[in-house]
Each structure stands twice: as C-alpha cells, then as structure tokens.
Amino acid sequence: MLHFMTTHSASSTLGALTAVANSPMPEGILWKMTYSDFENNQFFLYFDAISKEAIEGFFKKNGIAYDGIHKVVTFNVVKHELE
C-alpha cells in the first residue's frame, strides 16, 4: 500500500474524531494516526491506502472536508532510510 498524509483546517473535537474512527473503513484504506492541533484547528491524518482516489472517495462519502492529500514516504530516523 501507499502512504498518504491528509491536511485539514477545520474545527473538530476528540469525540468527532472518535466517531469517524469507529465508522467502517473501506477496503484498501487503513487510517493509522492523526496529529491534532485542536487550538488552531489543524489536523494531519496518516493513511495507508491503495490510492489517493480511495481516500477522496471516503472523505466525500463521509462529508469530511480536507485541504490536501499528499503521497508521502517515511524516513526512519534510527535506520537512516526511507520506508
């Protein structure tokens, strides 16, 4: 699977994030982590997914606004390599 970071500028709460996290994820999408700045309404979600379009479809189906969807690679700081 590919790795993606999505960016969101919207007001949210822990309860709202939990509600979405408890909804079924479509096949081909794994929501792994969210970095949250509740005070400034900034959220960064990390996904493994089969495609950018799969994430776009999930957001559209669930009415989730987003600023961007970015295909990313991760850098392992200990091993000094891309994963």
Residues 34-65: tens digit of each pLDDT: 999 999 999 999 999 999 999 999 999 988 99
Nearby residues of 20 by Cβ (< 8 Å), 6 or more positions away: 62, 64
83 has a pLDDT exceeding 90: no
* Rounded alpha-carbon distances, angstroms, from residue 52 to 18, 19, 24, 57: 22, 22, 18, 9
CB 58 within 8 A of CB 48: no
Position 53 scores a pLDDT of 97
What structural domains and CATH numbers belong to the chain?
A: 2-82 (3.30.70.3090)
Position 82 scores a pLDDT of 93
Position 23 scores a pLDDT of 86
The pTM assigned to this predicted structure is 0.88
